[in-house]
Amino acid sequence: MRKIFVLGSLNIDLSINCDKFPLSGETVIGKNFISNPGGKGANQAVAAAKMGGNVIMLGAVGNDFFGKKIKKNISAFHVNNTYIMTKEGATGVAIIVVNNGDNRIVLDSGANYQYNYADFEKTLTKRANPGDYFITQLENRVDVVSDGLKLAKKLGMITVLNPAPAFKLNDEIYKNCDYIIPNEAESRVLSNLYDDNTEEVIKYFLSKGVKNVIITLGEKGCVYTSNQNIKYLKAVDTKAIDTTAAGDTFIGALVAKLSDGCNLEDAINFANLASAITITRQGAQQSIPTKSEVEEYNNK
């Protein structure tokens, strides 16, 4: 099994359910408040580890209670936390409001934006081998993400970018992506193609030098490239309770299977099942199923 390095955000998620999203100046009554570790980077690392991956986390937390909690929690899920830096100041925080399975998120990056190239360059250079996987997102500074992808490719790693939150990217980032995995809305922001032709969006990414494109479509499933062909996979029919970590679960599960030698189509099917289980549960990392749970679900 190949190692999986995740360079990304580590946050504390503060999540609450409500019967309606508040309008400007409005207060609504919430329920089921929970506080738990999150962040796209950490969520994807935990998902990959729960699916059996050998995962090393690269990122930063603040010098506070939340930072200590995050490092302890991620280690409990068998993610290597040795290389998580502690920075002065606050840990990243995400405020999540959930209504009828949908969510709205407000993010304060905190220590994630203090994390820089020098914090991980030596670790990646010494510990990564050709064929290992490198996952990153856009909740850290874009220069750190870009430099991380470039270094990973130089080391012969297989690179995976989840471009969230989405904004226009330079072509060098695309050229260093073996896989790009946005959701539908993110893919349209990145490509500036807002009609219903998803295949044109895929062709846009391929024209930029990306080798493999996977676009998650929520309740419609996903669309992806396989051997130069564009294929669709339907979503599993489940009742959504909280979609917070659905995309992160998909990515972590996908890469865990790929790192274990699984072919792309089987890995996508597995990730699709894992994501379907996640949305039936509340929260982020605690909602992510284990490998055995996904396998059991698949055998029903």
Could you list the active site residues?
248
Find out whether 71 and 84 touch, Cβ atoms under 8 Å: yes
Q: Which of 87, 88, 77, 82 is nearest to 37 (CA)?
A: 77
What's the CA gap between 144 and 9, in Å, rounded? 12
Q: Which of 195, 259, 202 is nearest to 48 (CA)?
A: 259
User: 142-154 and 117-127 are packed helices; what angle lies between their axes, rounded to 10 degrees?
Assistant: 20
What's the CA gap between 77 and 288, in Å, rounded? 11
Tokens of 66: 């939340």
DSSP states of 136-201: E-SSS-HHHHHHHHHHHHHTTPEEEE---S-----HHHHHT-SEE--BHHHHHHHHT--SS-HHHH
Between the alpha carbon of residue 300 and those of residues 83, 165, 276, 293, the distances in Å are 39, 35, 14, 11
Tokens of 36: 């738990």
Within 8 A by CB and 6+ apart from 160, the residues are 133, 134, 135, 136, 177, 178, 179, 180, 181, 251, 255
Q: What is the DSSP letter of 100?
A: T
Tokens of 269: 């099917």
